[in-house]
Amino acid sequence: MDKKFEKFYLLGLMYQLGISIIAPILICILIGVFLDKQFKTDHLFTLGGIVLGFILSFVSVYQVLKPFLKNKK
């Protein structure tokens, strides 16, 4: 790969990893807040959303990095 294109590839990969981390967490938190308001619970669904968001973020990052992990073997 050309050096110039390698920089853009790595920049795109970093962007994809950032989105893969923040999007599931943010979406799950927003859904949790909405459900807390609907059912009038005390941050129960928000905490569940945080936990679920972190799990989904980990899975998403693993899926993005899986091709790189296979190349190391």
> Domain boundaries in the chain?
3-72
Rounded CA-CA distance 35/33 in Å is: 5
pTM of structure: 0.86
Contact indicator for 49, 32 with CB cutoff of 8 Å: yes
End-to-end CA distance of the chain: 21
H or E element in which residue 25 lies: helix 3-39
Longest CA pairwise span in the chain (Å): 56
| Residue 50: band (very low, low, confident or very high) from pLDDT cuts 50, 70, 90 | very high
pLDDT (tens digit per residue) in 2-28 = 888 899 999 999 999 999 999 999 999
